[in-house]
Structures are given as structure tokens and as C-alpha cells.
Amino acid sequence: MTVPTYLFHGNVWNSIQHRITTSNRTFLLFDYDGTLVPIKKQPSLSILPVKMRSLIAQLSILPNIFVGIVTGRSLYDIRNLVRIKNILYAANHGFQIHYKKQTWTHADAKRVLPLLNKVDVVLAKSLTPIKGVLLENKGVTLSVHYRNVNPERVRRLKRVLKQIIQPYDGMLKITTGKKVFEVRPCISWDKGQAILRILKMFRATDKSIIIFIGDDKTDEDAFKLLPSRAVTIRVGKNKSSNAKYFVRNTSEVRQFLENIISLKHNQRDHL
């Protein structure tokens, strides 16, 4: 891990602009919560701003730009929140990939669905006494949100969760994010693996520019795994990250998307 460089530093930004305008195709991929929208106390409150939706929609119809959202949210949830048809959605940390009318689900994840549903029922009952917990069944993963749990009770929450999952060691695993525990299939698969699959599916080449923007621990998997030529951007300054660059907040993500649209329009006008 290194200290990411500020994206809009003069020389850095000039170099990235040049790569965007000279590449044969731009793959623009980003997380949702904390990247396109600020983190909220309840996931249901993270509504995509009208301006951000407009920018993504504009980008999705520009020539030679491929747009996708790679998120821990369920496929139903993220599609319902964004509501843009001609972009790719990689949901559940990449266990599901949806583009236009086709949905791919990781075969090994499908096999543990009955077990996940069983664990969901047990967790719902066991976590009820812990005030503020939000349990979310996302199809091929479970999320245990604790943003609204008293900090003194988080240790108990973690202990209960481990006790329930422990008998299924090798089939399920617990990962962490921003104020959330994730119960996932115990498979070597994450956002990074999902993005590599997407790049292969849509035939990215050495002449393509790959851009991924994220803010959470789960995005570090992608920052680390993507090829060295990729432009990896963390939202929020962090002294240690696998991302090469950072922006300060979601407002600067919006600025970045606006800049790409301007670059592409200027490029078209000069043809």
C-alpha cells in the first residue's frame, strides 16, 4: 500500500486527461455508497442525486465509454436506486453481474443460497435484542449493518455473528466494511475479480483506460488486483491504500464525471 496522490493535482490531472482523450475506450466503474452518494445512517436513505444520475446517463451514451456500478448492494436494490438501463450493474460484491437483460450469478454462490437463507432466519432471531441492528438479505450475501448500534454493544454483535457462522466454516465467511459485517460464500471472489471478469467480457485492451472509483475496504480488493495501468481512485484521503489517487468527497467524484463529459464533447467538436 502507498499514499494516494490527489487526482486534481496539475500534472496528475493533465496526464489522466491525456489518457482519456487518446484511449480507444474508457471503462468507467464505480462503487455506489460513499462514492456516488454520501454514506447515510440507513442504506434506504442513500438516494442518488438528480445531478449525479444525469451525469451517469450522459456518460453512458457517449461513444467509446463503458459505464458500470460495482457495489455490495443487492441487484434489485442498486437497479432500483440508479434506474439507468444501458449501464452494467455488478451487485453483491460482484457475485452477480447484470447488463441489459442478462444476469450472471457466480455458480459457487448459487450452491450456498439455501444455507444463507437458513442463517438469515437464525440471525434475525439472535440479533433482535441488539438495538439498532439492520439485517439485510441481498440474495447471495447477507449484510449486518451496525451504524446505529451503541458502540458498547458492537463487540457482542460480533461475537453472536461469529458463533452463528462458525459451524459453516469453509462454506460462509464474514468480511467487514464501513459499519457493516458481510456474510458471504467462502469463495475466492470479490470486486476485483468481478471487474477483471467484466473487462474480459467486454474486451478491454491495452489501449483502453480503466477507471475504478471506490471508498470502502471492499474496494481495496479491486484497487489491488487491477492492472498497473488502471486509474484507481479512492474517495476520502487515506494514508494507506491500494489506490493510486484520491478525491476528497462525492462532490469531487461529480466534478470528475463532469470533466470527462467536457473532455469527450471537446474531443468530438475537434474531429
**pLDDT score, position 117:** 95
Question: Is residue 33 a contact partner of residue 71, using CB atoms and an 8 Å limit?
Answer: yes
Q: Which residues face 71 on adjacent strands?
A: none
Task: Spell out the residues 6+ positions from residue 87 whose beta carbon is closer than 8 angstroms to its own.
Answer: 56, 60, 67, 68, 69
Q: Which residue in this structure is represented by grid cell 446517463?
A: 57
Per-domain boundaries in the chain: 5-106+189-269, 109-185
Q: Which residue type, as a one-letter code, is found at position 67?
A: V
Per-residue pLDDT of 152-202, as tens digits, reads: 999 999 999 999 999 999 999 999 988 999 999 999 999 999 999 999 999
**pLDDT score, position 44:** 81
Closest CA to 192 of 20, 14, 31: 31
Residue 233 CA to residue 247 CA, distance in Å, equals 7
**pLDDT score, position 271:** 52
**pLDDT score, position 42:** 82
Cβ-count burial of 182 within 10 angstroms (0-12 exposed, 13-18 middle, 19+ buried)? buried
Does the domain spanning 5-106+189-269 belong to CATH 3.30.70.360? no
Residue 169 CA to residue 162 CA, distance in Å, equals 10
Tens digit of pLDDT at every position of the chain (271 positions): 778 999 999 899 999 999 999 999 999 999 999 999 998 888 888 899 999 999 999 999 999 999 999 999 999 999 999 999 999 999 999 999 999 999 999 999 999 999 999 999 999 999 999 999 999 999 999 999 999 999 999 999 999 999 999 999 999 999 998 899 999 999 999 999 999 999 999 999 999 999 999 998 899 999 999 999 999 999 998 778 999 999 999 999 999 999 999 998 877 655 5
Q: Which residue in this structure is represented by grid cell 489506490?
A: 243
**pLDDT score, position 40:** 85
Q: State the virtual CA torsion across 225, 228, 234, 238 in degrees, nearest 10.
A: 90
Task: Spell out the residues 6+ positions from residue 25 whose beta carbon is closer than 8 angstroms to its own.
Answer: 64, 65, 66, 204, 205, 207, 208, 209
**pLDDT score, position 96:** 97
**pLDDT score, position 269:** 58
pTM over the 0.85 mark: yes
Q: For residue 201, give the 3-state DSSP assignment.
A: helix
Does the domain spanning 109-185 belong to CATH 3.20.20.140? no
Cβ-count burial of 73 within 10 angstroms (0-12 exposed, 13-18 middle, 19+ buried)? buried
CB count in 10 Å sphere of residue 224:
14
**pLDDT score, position 237:** 84
DSSP 129: T
